[in-house]
Amino acid sequence: MRFTEDQLSLQQMAREFAEKELMPRAAEMDIDGELPMDVYQKAVDMSLTCLDLPEEYGGAGLDMVTTCLIREEISRGDSGFSITIGSNSLGFKPVGIAGNEEQKQHFADIITRGGFCAFAITEPGSGSDAASTATTAVKVGDEYIINGRKCFITNAERADVYTVLATTDKTKGARGLSMFIVDRDTPGVSTGKHEDKMGIRVSNTADVIFEDVHIPAKNLIGQEGKGFKIAMQTLEKGRVITGAAAVGIGRAALEYATKYAQVRKTMGKPICEHGQIQALIADMGIELEAARQLVLAAADAIDHNDPNKGKLSAMSKCFAAEVIERVCSHAIQILGGYGYMRDYPVEKLYRDARIYQIFEGTNQIQRLVIARHMLQENPAD
Ligand SMILES: Cc1cc2nc3c(=O)[nH]c(=O)nc-3n(C[C@H](O)[C@H](O)[C@H](O)COP(=O)(O)OP(=O)(O)OC[C@H]3O[C@@H](n4cnc5c(N)ncnc54)[C@H](O)[C@@H]3O)c2cc1C
Any ligand 1 atom below 6 A from CB of 206: no
Q: Place 237 in a pLDDT band, splitting at 50, 70 and 90.
A: very high
Distance 132 CA to ligand 1 centre (A): 13
pLDDT at 303 over 90: yes
* pLDDT, tens digit, 9 for 90 and up, residues 22-81: 999 999 999 999 999 999 999 999 999 999 899 999 999 999 999 999 999 999 999 999
Please answer whether residues 161 and 105 qualify as being in contact, where contact means their C-beta atoms are separated by less than 8 angstroms.
no
Active centre residues (catalytic)? 360
What is the CATH number assigned to the segment(s) 117-224? 2.40.110.10
Query: Considering only CA atoms, which residue is closest to atom 29 of ligand 1?
Result: 128
Q: Place 373 in a pLDDT band, splitting at 50, 70 and 90.
A: very high
Any ligand 1 atom below 6 A from CB of 17: no
What is the reported pLDDT for 233? 96
pLDDT at 286 over 90: yes
pLDDT at 288 over 90: yes
pLDDT at 381 over 90: no
Do 5-112 and 228-377 agree at the fold level? no
Any ligand 1 atom below 6 A from CB of 128: yes
Mutate to test the pocket of ligand 1, among 79, 208, 362, 363 (most ligand atoms within 8 A of CB): 362
Q: Place 1 in a pLDDT band, splitting at 50, 70 and 90.
A: confident
Distance 4 CA to ligand 1 centre (A): 37
- pLDDT > 90 fraction of the chain, expressed in percent and rounded: 99
What is the CATH number assigned to the segment(s) 228-377? 1.20.140.10
How wide is the angle at C-alpha 332 spanned by C-alphas 328 and 333, nearest 5°?
Answer: 115
Distance 364 CA to ligand 1 centre (A): 10
Among candidates 92, 108, 115, 103, which has minimal Cα distance to 43? 115
Any ligand 1 atom below 6 A from CB of 154: yes
Strand partners of residue 154: 205
Mean predicted lDDT score pLDDT of the chain: 97
> Alpha-carbon distance 199 to 183, whole Å?
28
Distance 122 CA to ligand 1 centre (A): 8
User: What HEC string does the chain produce?
Assistant: CCCCHHHHHHHHHHHHHHHHHHHHHHHHHHHHCCCCHHHHHHHHHCCCCCCCCCHHHCCCCCCHHHHHHHHHHHHHHCHHHHHHHHHHHHHHHHHHHHCCHHHHHHHHHHHHCCCCEEEECCECCECCCHHHCCCEEEEECCEEEEEEEEEEEECCCCCCEEEEEEECCHHHHHHHEEEEEEECCCCCEEEEEECCCCCCCCCCEEEEEEEEEEEEHHHEECCCCCHHHHHHHHHHHHHHHHHHHHHHHHHHHHHHHHHHHHHCEECCEEHHHCHHHHHHHHHHHHHHHHHHHHHHHHHHHHHCCCCCHHHHHHHHHHHHHHHHHHHHHHHHHHHHHHHHCCCCCHHHHHHHHHHHHCCCCCHHHHHHHHHHHHHHHCCCC
Distance 264 CA to ligand 1 centre (A): 40
What is the CATH number assigned to the segment(s) 5-112? 1.10.540.10
Handedness of CA 34, 38, 43, 44 (dihedral sign): positive
Instruction: From the CA of 156, give the closest atom in ligand 1.
Output: 8
Instruction: From the CA of 154, give the closest atom in ligand 1.
Output: 8
* pLDDT, tens digit, 9 for 90 and up, residues 74-133: 999 999 999 999 999 999 999 999 999 999 999 999 999 999 999 999 999 999 999 999
| Domain assignments of the chain as residue spans, ordered by start | 5-112, 117-224, 228-377
